[in-house]
């Protein structure tokens, strides 16, 4: 099944991004339509109010955005490298316990690949929602990614 297999994407990110291993992120779902990652409740990554630190929340959300980028564009890795360009984060409620990030692509895969095919360096937004165990939204992110073509 290639890059759309959850273990392949998760294993690849864990192997290449040390913070994924450090935070012990769990890959619940990774496919081109949706990526869901979970950050277990770990006191070592708590803030002053006993919930996950904002930096840990950011890493969870950014990692979810990377997982969907790999799942959606893994078949383009031979010619382009997915890279985050910028991110905007909003912390909405105090996060507590285990938190979950759900990422969705903001543009159709075919449109992004068509731009790459035409010689451009496409950008695409990934929307991320971070929820608490009670279902309340603790934070939201928009991470803009690019497919950077390999140059000789």
Alpha-carbon distance 52 to 50, whole Å?
7
Q: Is the pLDDT of residue 2 over 70?
A: no
Which pLDDT value is given to residue 9?
87
Q: What is the DSSP code string of the chain? A: -GGGSHHHHHHHHHHH-HHHHHTT-EEEEEETTEEEEEE---GGGB-TTSSB-HHHHHHHHHHHHHHHHHHHHGGGTTTEEEEEEEEEEEE-S---SSEEEEEEESS-HHHHHHHHHTT---EEEEEEEEE-TTS-EEEEEEEEEEEEE---
Handedness of CA 15, 16, 18, 24 (dihedral sign): negative
CA angle 122, 59, 42 (to 5 degrees): 160
What value, to the nearest 5°, has the Cα angle with vertex 110 and ends 105 and 111? 80
Closest CA to 5 of 84, 67, 66: 67
Higher pLDDT, 30 or 14: 30
pLDDT tens digits along 35-52: 999 999 999 999 998 899
Cα diameter, the chain: 50
Q: Per-residue confidence at 120, pLDDT binned at 50, 70, 90? A: very high
* Domains of the chain, first to last: 19-149 (3.10.129.10)
Q: pTM (2 decimals)?
A: 0.92
Strand partners, 129: 102, 140
């Amino acid at each position: 099944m290639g890059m759309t297999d959850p273990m392949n994407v998760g294993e690849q990110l864990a192997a290449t991004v040390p913070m994924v291993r450090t935070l012990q992120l769990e890959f619940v779902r990774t496919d081109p339509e949706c990526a869901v990652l979970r950050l277990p409740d770990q006191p070592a990554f708590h803030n002053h109010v006993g919930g996950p630190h904002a930096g840990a929340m950011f890493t969870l959300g950014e990692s979810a955005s990377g997982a969907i980028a790999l799942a959606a564009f893994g078949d383009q890795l031979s010619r382009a490298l997915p890279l985050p360009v910028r991110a905007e984060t909003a912390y909405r409620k105090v996060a507590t316990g285990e938190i979950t990030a759900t990422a969705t692509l903001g543009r159709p895969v075919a449109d992004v690949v068509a731009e790459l095919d035409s010689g451009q360096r496409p950008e695409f937004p990934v929307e991320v929602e971070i929820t608490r165990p009670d279902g309340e939204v603790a934070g939201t992110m928009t991470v803009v990614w690019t497919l950077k073509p390999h140059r000789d």
